[in-house]
Amino acid sequence: MINEKFGAYQVGQMVNYKGNEVVILAKQRGCKTTNINTQGGIITGFKSRPCTYSLSNGLIVRGDKLQKINRGGEQ
């Protein structure tokens, strides 16, 4: 299992999706859009779409729909 450096979640991580605990099976990088990103009037690149994740229940969802599970004693 290769740890990629994009997205907020990792493959194999348990997350909460609509009240159900599921495991992330795969993730796909979001591609760039044609919308320009500026900072103080200077063009710094293009805005990105969010990453999508394949879940163990068979759904493919965006990362903003998932929630991390906070286990008290685990690290």
Instruction: Look at residue 2 and tell me if it is in a domain.
Output: no
Instruction: Look at residue 41 and tell me if it is in a domain.
Output: yes
Q: What is the mean pLDDT of the chain?
A: 85
How many domains, in total, are found in the chain?
A: 1
Number of residues assigned to the chain: 75
Instruction: Look at residue 3 and tell me if it is in a domain.
Output: no
Instruction: Look at residue 5 and tell me if it is in a domain.
Output: no
**CA proximity to 28, closest of 2, 57, 64, 4:** 4
Confidence of residue 57 (pLDDT cuts 50, 70, 90): very high
Q: Which amino acid is at 64?
A: D
Q: Report the predicted TM-score, pTM, of the whole model to 2 decimal places.
A: 0.71
> Which tens digit of pLDDT belongs to each residue from 6-40?
778 889 999 999 988 999 999 988 888 889 999 99
Instruction: Look at residue 73 and tell me if it is in a domain.
Output: no
Looking up tokens 């099976």, which residue turns up? 25
pLDDT of 3: 57
- Dist CA 47 CA 52 (whole Å): 16
**CA proximity to 14, closest of 6, 23, 2:** 23
- How far is residue 12 CA from its own chain's centroid? 13
pLDDT above 70 for 48: yes
Segments forming the whole domain that contains residue 39: 14-68
Instruction: Look at residue 75 and tell me if it is in a domain.
Output: no
